Each structure stands twice: as structure tokens, then as C-alpha cells.
Structure 1
Amino acid sequence: MSRTSAITPLIAAIVALLISAPAFGESVDPAASRVNGFYDVLLSTMQQGKELGLKGRYEKLAPVLSKTYDLSSMTKTAVGSSWSEFTPEQQRELVKAFTRMTIATYASRFDDFSGEQFDVGQAVDQPNGNRIVKTHIVQSNGKTVALNYLMHKSGAEWKIMDVYLDGAISELATRRSEFGAILKSGGPDALISSLTRQGDKLLGGGSQN
């Protein structure tokens, strides 16, 4: 074997390692990596926001949001103890309506790119086995918004279970209060209708599902 032919496989192996290895300082924590992947798609969607339009943004964000968020568990937690009293069909329809409304919210709000930056920190272990991933959105005017994600293990994957705006305002707590009032006055069917209407409004009467 020639010296050149012996070196070539070695160089190829080194290049392969460099390509696959994380950059210095890049988080390899699986919970933080999941949020990083979500932000990558969100940023790409914003950059193509006008070209995609509302329907296109919805369709692009739907897969990554469904993969990143544990929307089924979030719906169940927001409903609370009365969840077990609902029929399986009502439970499915609630998860479906909540999922659609959540995706529609992102598609509606993140519609354009103005130089925003998404910074993801390390995941912080919690006593109950969950993790919190701290992130910041740096707006074009320099204002920073803190968004912390409560992550839990869903099977073998880390998924978002709650979002804390400014590090303190819980999305699930807000939803629990909202859902509770509707359930008290109209039951699960009223909540399904309310979430469906919210999704319709965000989508401008569209039929994405």
C-alpha cells in the first residue's frame, strides 16, 4: 500500500468526525438540542414568512411543533382532574383543537423576520427528573424576552410541557384558568368549540387541521 493511499482513509475519517462533532460551546444536551431544532425551523419560517403566507407557515411549523411539544399531555394538564370524566372522543377532540390552535398561534405571530436572534442556554435538571431549558429571544430593537421551557421525558424523547414567559408566567397555568372557566359554564363540548373558534380566528377562517 502506498503512503498516499494509507493517508487518504485517515483524512476521510478525520473529516467525517469534524463534520459530525458539535461545535465548541454547542450544547449536546438532548433537551436543549430539541429546543434548538425547534428554533431553527421557527427562524427559517420567519425568514420565509411573507413568501409562505399563513397557510404555508402553518404547514411548515405543524410537524416540528407536534414533535417538540407534548400537546396531548399539555391539554390533559390544563383541563385538570375533570379530564377523566370526558369520553375518549371528547378527549381526542380537545387535543386536536388545542394542537390546531397552538400551531395557528405560532403561524400567526411569527410571520416575518426583522433580525431576531434565538439564544438557547443549557438545560437545568429539576428534582422531579424534568429539565428547564432557558432561552432568550433578542428582538431587532435590542429588547430581550426570556422564554424558559419545562421539558419532560415522553417515551425516549424530551418534549416541552410548559413555557414560562419572562421566566415566570406559566402558559399552562394561564390555560388552566381559561379552561376551568369554560368547563364550569359549558363542559367539554364548550371548550372544544372555544378552542376551535380561536384556531379559526387565527387562521382567518381557514381549515388547517
Structure 2
Amino acid sequence: MRIPFAAALPFALIAAVPAQAQTDPARTAVQGLDDGLLAIMKAKGTVKSRAASIAPVIDRAFDLSLMTRLAVGPAWTTTAPADQQALVAAFRRMTIAQYATNFDDWSGERFVIADRIEARGGDKLVRTTLAAPGKADIAISYRLRQIGGAWKIIDVFYRNSISQVATRRSDFASVLARGGAKALVAHLDSLAAKGSF
């Protein structure tokens, strides 16, 4: 199992608020993702088979459209609708490929979700820990937003400080500047083919 992320972004100003951890819908959304990841790790198989299994889990857990827009940044507003759709589709392919590649084997790993759900404005933060026998725990936090009546993940923070969206925005900006939306779609497809980021 590999979990690659790049640049660090300070994660501050989180106000903790008590919540009923067992029934909070944001926690339930993260639990569904964790369960899906453990399932593909235990099943092993090929990248293709793991991708097929995790794709519907990712579609339920994440708002990939909003994540794409946030990662593209200000350029999103001047991107043609057809290119926006192509970017979301490519972002989805990349996300599925990364999870299918990085969560490839199970050796006793488990996810522990913190009881306390934290608030940040109208969003929620669900903190988890990936624990593996004989290895240091890895903190992974999920920021969720209520969209269409469901809580969806809109960002992932590795070790509580590395924002996927911020990391990708930095990477995507240079690609967009060089070749626009079509170049970014090609870049995302290249990342999907590699299965890592």
C-alpha cells in the first residue's frame, strides 16, 4: 500500500464541536470509503479489478466535480463547458486509478475514525488514522460538504497538513498555462496511467 501526496499546506483554524460520531452522516461517508479501500486491499487482484470495485465507492464518497473545480482554480470560470466536463471525467479516472494502485495489498491495516467530528464553517472534518502492524500510524483527514442533501468529501489532508486540492492546483496551474484544458486532460490521463501522483 502506498499513499503519495506532495506539498504541505498548514491546516489550521479547526474548531472542534461535539457530535454523535456513530450517526453523523459525514462520518458514515468516510466509513464507506474506508470499508471500500479495505475491501480492495484484501481482494488484491489487478489494478483493473480494484479500479472496477472502488469506482462506485469513490463516486458515492467524493464530490469529484467540485474537487476538479477547486483544483483547477480561477481558470475554471473561463473554461468552456465541454472542457469542464472532460476535466471532471479525467479527474475521476485519475482518482480511481490512484486508489486502485496505492491500496493494493492488505497486511492487517485498519482505519480508525475519530469520535469527534469537527466543524470548519459549513463543512465538516473527519479525522482518521490508518494503522498497520509494525508501522507508524498515518493520519488522514477528510473535509466534507453537504451537497444535494449528502455529505461528500471535497478535500483530503495527508498527515493533517497536506491538501490534495492545494497540491493539485499548484501542479495543474503550470499545465493549464502551457496548453489549456486539453493539455490538463492529457496530464490527468497520464497520471491515471501511472496510478500515482
TM-score, with structure 1 as normaliser: 0.81
Q: How many equivalent pairs are there? A: 176
Counterpart CA distance in 1 for 2:118 and 2:41 is 28
Counterpart CA distance in 2 for 1:195 and 1:41 is 23
After TM superposition, what 4+ stretches of structure 1 lie above 4 angstroms from structure 2?
A: none
Give the superposition deviation at 1:201: 2.6
What amino acid sits opposite 2:80 in the alignment?
T
Counterpart CA distance in 2 for 1:155 and 1:36 is 19
Q: Summarize deviations over 1:121-152 as a string: whole Å, max 9, x none.
A: 131122x2100000000122231000010110
Counterpart CA distance in 2 for 1:173 and 1:92 is 21
The answer to whether residue 18 in structure 2 is matched with residue 32 in structure 1 is no
What amino acid sits opposite 1:139 in the alignment?
A
**1:1-209 matches, cutoff 5 A:** 27-49=22-44, 52-121=45-114, 122-126=116-120, 128-202=121-195
TM-score, with structure 2 as normaliser: 0.86
SS at match of 1:80: helix
SS at match of 2:84: helix
Q: Summarize deviations over 1:84-123 as a string: whole Å, max 9, x none.
A: 2111110000000010000000000101100011001131
SS at match of 2:46: helix
**Identity, % of aligned positions:** 39
Counterpart CA distance in 2 for 1:115 and 1:174 is 29
SS at match of 1:118: strand
What amino acid sits opposite 2:62 in the alignment?
Y
Higher relative contact order, chain-length normalized (CA < 8 Å, sep 6+): 2
Q: Which runs of 5+ in 1 are unaligned?
A: 1-24, 204-209
Q: Summarize deviations over 1:132-181 as a string: whole Å, max 9, x none.
A: 00000012223100001011011100000101111111111000100111
Give the superposition deviation at 1:26: 6.2
